[in-house]
Amino acid sequence: MIHYNLNNRKLVLGHPGGKYGLYIPSSSRWMEEIKTLDQYEAAKTEDIHYKLQYQTFDITLDGCTQKFLVGSTTTVEHVLEMLSVNAISSFEDTFGLYTSYGERLKDKDTVWAILKDMGAEQDVIYYRPLSQKIVVCTSAEPDMAVELEVDFSRPLKSLLPFFCRRFGVKISECQAIKDEKGLVLDVEKALNASRVSHNSKIMIVKNGGSSYDSPTSAVSAASTLVNGAEVNIWEEPDSAETLQFSSSGVSPMVYTVSAGSLNKLVVHLTNEKGEGSTQYLDFVKTFLLTYQSFTSAFVLLKKLIERYHVPRIGNMSQGEFEKFRLTVQLRVCNVILQWTKKYTSDFLDVKNGEALIAEMTKFTESILAADHPTMAKQIRKSITKLKEGPEAWSSHVAKSMGPPPPPPSKAPRQGKDGVLRIFDYPAEEIARQLTLIEFGLFYNIRPLELLNQAWTKRDASVRAAGILALTKRFNAVACWVAKTILDLKTVKARARRMTRMIDIAVHLHGLNNFSTLMAFIAGLNKAAIMRLKHTFKELSSTSRKKLADFEKLMTAENSYKTYRAALHTVNPPCIPYIGVYLIDLTYMEDGNPNNIDNLINFTKRQMVSTVIREVHQYQSSPVNFKTVDELARLLNVFPDANDTFEKLLYELSLKREPREAAPK
């Protein structure tokens, strides 16, 4: 018999729960464990592959989960045949495999392909009777029936919410459910247990009026802003007290939302008439980028779920309601899909992310799966990626960008005593590695950090960790630039080092790395450096001109007018100087109130959104260089900048070029 053990610490199995075997490629055969090696001639002359032979496939039936080992050619049909041998079912039932989001697995699909599509976290697979058709109506309109497909093995009370959503009826309005003979059905029993036949008709008996009442003006307009959880989104009236618009003032007139209650902003977010227009798409982006400045993710999800449960309002016919319901629900689904794909910071939050994902998963699997399984599948895929955590999500985003191969690295000259130092590398390679480090920090800034001046708050280390990290790096680079110049004792050596710094700055500019370029300029403009008159005299006119040009480019005059113009002419990848954005956001926050007449000031959020979108635009185009490990390590250990360090720099400057003393 063939027995084997693999002792290799570097070996990582891609499917630790699966079963691996020995495979002969030339004959496409698996070696049987009950045989000996002598029985396989190929084993004497060919390479034998150790590879995955069976994967684990979990199936839930009758509330219990069972594990099955399936080969690469095993189809859903094969699994169903295997299950039918042991499963107990009524004669007329035909069974299938279903996902948690309501999709039936196709009989001819291979299980391995299904598992690959699911990703790292296998979805729950249910073995149950196939969904069958039933006709449903209400006592208010017995002639307006809807044909639905449901699982006849589920308790009727679990199907009732699905029925109610299709008619815009509240569950509390349901007095009873009757079959075709007028007999009241036991909601604790399944339809098949109550002898309800496929394609038969049942009736929801209502205990109230024939339609959902329209909102009344008695509801406080500001209620969703002050006490957002108190007023259902469908019960707040439409008026100037709940939603306000502003016009472009130019023909053709364009109206945009300027302020609104939370309920009405969410209504506009999922407006049944909005999809496709530029104004609507812009509103959705602005809302999802800035909602954290006026509500929480949990409240937003609650409001979207409220909006999804569409009531039948006024004198709507069943046909009108069906069209309205479908449109609104799909708008909600599309917003959720965008939220979970592109605006993920709340889902990746260390403190509350898991709870938010759990709430979203519950809604997706318990409600969306029944109504819109295709949309539920897409949303669940996004949720699965979110569950893998921030690092996995960032990796997924980076892979989706598909950058071309990076250029080759620039080789360093031989260092003294065989030890490589930063300036043994070419200026271009130093600039590349600085840019890689800078982009990593810039990329980590989340939209939430740019809201409500989070970087200035007491808990900024939590709320704006990315901005603080980039700012800390900026100050460290500026101090490093100054320190490396002052470390040299002679005027000529300092001038050569300063020239080298300017050369690196030239490459930083060429790489559109305005962030580190600004840090270099800040370092060269520190008081400890600016007073080195003798050192500056040794600079060539070319180097002095380059430095002057960079200072002119990055000057703060006229609100960084020259820099802004240059930034908007370059093509990404680009790392902008974050300080300008923070200044702009400060003016926007200080100059505009959060609320106007108890309504959320959405015009302010549109202004803030333009900044966040620009930041996101540059984050979406990564730099593409190979990391030079040793150089990157050296460039990552700069000393922290603080008042003490600044004082030491100035003291060192006085030592290098004392006041009124001859140059050294």
Percent of the chain residues past pLDDT 90, beyond the cut: 64
Residue 216 pLDDT exceeds 50 = no
pLDDT digits (tens, 9 = 90+) for 296-327: 999 999 999 999 999 998 888 888 999 999 99
Q: Which of 23-32, 137-146, 403-412, 640-649 has the lowest mean pLDDT?
A: 403-412
pLDDT digits (tens, 9 = 90+) for 142-184: 999 999 999 999 999 999 999 999 999 999 999 999 999 999 9
Q: Which of 79-93, 142-156, 478-492 has the lowest mean pLDDT?
A: 79-93
Q: With CA atoms as reference, report the closest residue to 315 among 194, 210, 459.
A: 210
pLDDT digits (tens, 9 = 90+) for 246-256: 986 665 667 89
Beta pairing class for 255-260 and 201-206: unpaired
Cα torsion 247, 248, 253, 254: sign: negative
Residue 466 pLDDT exceeds 70 = yes
CATH topology of 132-206 equal to that of 223-399? no
- pLDDT tier for residue 391 given thresholds of 50, 70 and 90: low
Residue 141 pLDDT exceeds 70 = yes
Q: At what angle do helices 318-342 and 156-167 cross, to 10 degrees?
A: 100
Residue 119 pLDDT exceeds 90 = no
pLDDT at 641: 87
pLDDT digits (tens, 9 = 90+) for 423-448: 999 999 999 999 999 999 999 999 99
Q: Give me the mean pLDDT over the 634-655 stretch.
A: 92
Instruction: Write down the mean pLDDT value for the chain.
Output: 88
DSSP one-letter code for 31: P
pTM listed for this prediction: 0.84
Which CA distances in Å does 105 have to 71, 97, 114, 126, 633? 17, 6, 8, 10, 50
pLDDT at 453: 97
Domain ranges of the chain: 19-95+107-121, 132-206, 223-399, 425-575+623-656
Contact present, 161 and 171 (Cβ < 8 Å): yes
Q: Output the DSSP codes for 359-411.
A: HHHHHIIIIIHHH-HHHHHHHHHHHHHHHT-HHHHHHHHHHHH-PPPPPPPPP
Residue 415 pLDDT exceeds 70 = no
Mention the CATH class of domain 132-206: alpha beta
pLDDT at 376: 94
Residue 214 pLDDT exceeds 50 = no
For the domain spanning 223-399, the CATH number is 1.20.870.10
- pLDDT tier for residue 229 given thresholds of 50, 70 and 90: very low
425-575+623-656 is classed in which CATH architecture? Answer: Orthogonal Bundle (1.10)
